Structure 1
Amino acid sequence: MRSSRLRPSREVSLKLLRIVGFYVAIVAVWSLLGRAEVWSPFLFPSPEKVFESLRTNFANGLILDGLQASLRRLAAGYAISFVLGMSLGLLTAAWRFADETIGGVVLGLQSLPSITWLPLAVLWFGLSESAIIFVVLMGSTFSIAISARSGMRGLPPLLARAAGTLGATRWQLYRYVVIPAMVPSMVQGMKQGWSFAWRSLMAGELLFVSVGLGHLLDVGRNLNNINMVFAIMLVIIAVGVAVDRLIFGRAEAWVHERWGFSAG
């Protein structure tokens, strides 16, 4: 019995060791390439230089200020896109006419790269915070809408009929059958919408913003500071991975544990 308790702990330790070993190997290879100067240090910096740039820009507050500004814009745009996306998704799933009309528009707009909304945003809102939030909103709304529609349309008719046979009211049908069946697709749509929103935000900040991670990338480019460019890229990647694992990863695990559905 004691060995059975230790086994999961050992498996977790081995998994952690493999992950840490993988990233240590990447940094080691990166360091060797940097020291060998296979490419010019002005084009491919060593990890030591990049980590030094990270330390410096965290210490002087540049990265923290930029991160705070970027997350504030992201939260505003993503919150609006979630409400709009869910509303569009439920509307097109529940109403055939809306699906045949608005649904086609949603599919078409989803195919547009997020950055293509930027010229329109500038014309409508000028070089402002509203323009960036608009780009974030348009980048994520339609993926959330499509996932919400798919979740509701994907409900097996047999489940609805079985609930009706058992005497479920319309409210009970939605609460205990429709919503649980939709949640996995909703979580997946939110996850996809977040990734689109994050990329849209960085693209917008690269072009015109006074504070933000995307703007710091542009500052590094203008200063010919490759160390700073790599450092900010690492921060952007770290934020993306952290949100995916800590928020959406836990949400997917909760969905699987609560209802036995997979959100992946």
Structure 2
Amino acid sequence: MPLDTRTGTASDPDHDELRRLEAGLDSLQAVPEPPRGAFRRTLDGVVPPILLLITLVAAWQAYIVIAKPRPDLIPGPFDVFGALVSAWSSERLQLAVLTSLERGGLGFLIAVAIGTPIGLLLAECRPVRRALGPLLSGLQVLPSVAWVPAAIIWFGLTDATVYFVVLMGAVPSIANGLVSGVDQIPPQLRRVGTVLGASRVQMATLVVLPAALPGYFSGLKQGWAFAWRSLMAAEIIAMGGTMGFGLGSMLQQSRELADLSGVLATILVILFVGILVELVVFAPIERRLLRRRGLMAAGLR
């Protein structure tokens, strides 16, 4: 690191603090990792959920056999599976999944593009944070389904209604997650950036944002969860017009037909898609991020 000629040796304490910080991170990253193949890691991640699923389905079927409840009130697992097969055969299931994934993915990306600069602004500008911070926290607590009636009045029964509700659900979580990550940044990093002459923009983009990645990523995960929940709420309530056929619409149609097997089948699909996105998209990125930061225990790798 070059010596700051304007301050002579005055920046040496900053250099020492940075070296100590880097040494601490290196020691964390040096935790020995037991040799585990990709197949073993896959088994460790897949087998426990499958065993739990088998246990739950077996208990469900045992209750159906022993208690013999009314099928229209408590259908058995084979009835629900039959509803899934029927929806797949008619291609309604594929259409609903693709429509909801397209809406959820696009809405989430737009929420990231909006929530990230808002979060940086709140984290770096205290007057803005004092003014907008409570409002953003309130929006995060507000159930996004409350926006559906207003969105229908403003945008009608169109996809714009769905995207608006998704944004109102996801943006506050993403912004607040970034603010939380920035608050956890060690002050030494900011001091080093100041010593090296970083401008406010450089400080935010080259120092603050990379250092806040763990908290920011947690906000992204929560933002996706809120986006998916908001999407389902909007699709259930807003039907007709130029609205496409999503999983929420499929769930509502089954409810109108008093088809509890179809309702439970759709709920399981919604749950499966949410878990799949978590395992395929977010979990690998999170493991890689935490491993690079030395924040993941060896046994969890």
TM-score by length of 2: 0.78
Greater Cα offset, 80-89 or 13-22: 13-22
Picking from 25, 49, 68, the partner of 2:98 is: 68
* 1:222 maps onto 2:252 in alignment: no
1:23-34 equivalences in 2 (<5 Å): 23-34=53-64
Native 8 Å contact 1:180 1:259 kept in 2: no
CA separation in 2, counterparts of 1:14 and 1:248?
Answer: 17
Give 1:228 shift: 0.8
Q: Deviations over 1:167-195 (max 9, x none)?
A: 47457755664233211111111110111
Alpha carbons of structure 1 residues 52 and 100: separation in structure 2 relative to 1, 3 Å: same
Q: Structure 1: 5+ residue runs without aligned partners?
A: none
Give 1:6 shift: 7.8
1:19-98 equivalences in 2 (<5 Å): 19-98=49-128
Native 8 Å contact 1:184 1:261 kept in 2: no
Greater Cα offset, 216-225 or 167-176: 167-176
Alpha carbons of structure 1 residues 184 and 6: separation in structure 2 relative to 1, 3 Å: closer
Give 1:151 shift: 1.4
Q: Which has the higher contact order (CA 8 A, sep 6+)?
A: 2
1:105 is aligned with what amino acid? L
1:81-160 equivalences in 2 (<5 Å): 81-160=111-190
Give 1:223 shift: 1.1
1:33 is aligned with what amino acid? Y
Q: Which of the pair is proportionally richer in helix?
A: 1
Local SS of the residue matching 1:188? helix
Native 8 Å contact 2:148 2:238 kept in 1: no
**Fraction of identical pairs, as percent:** 34
Native 8 Å contact 2:119 2:179 kept in 1: yes
CA separation in 1, counterparts of 2:132 and 2:44?
Answer: 50
CA separation in 2, counterparts of 1:6 and 1:247?
Answer: 21
Residue correspondences, number: 258
1:59 is aligned with what amino acid? S
Alpha carbons of structure 1 residues 76 and 7: separation in structure 2 relative to 1, 3 Å: closer
Give 1:260 shift: 2.6
CA separation in 1, counterparts of 2:281 and 2:39?
Answer: 23
Picking from 266, 269, 292, the partner of 1:232 is: 266
Greater Cα offset, 116-125 or 178-187: 178-187
CA separation in 1, counterparts of 2:66 and 2:77?
Answer: 13
Whichever of the two has the greater Rg, that structure is: 2
Alpha carbons of structure 1 residues 235 and 186: separation in structure 2 relative to 1, 3 Å: same
Greater Cα offset, 171-180 or 214-223: 171-180
Picking from 162, 169, 187, the partner of 2:217 is: 187
* 1:201 maps onto 2:231 in alignment: yes
Alpha carbons of structure 1 residues 148 and 47: separation in structure 2 relative to 1, 3 Å: same
* 1:248 maps onto 2:278 in alignment: no
2:287 is aligned with what amino acid? A
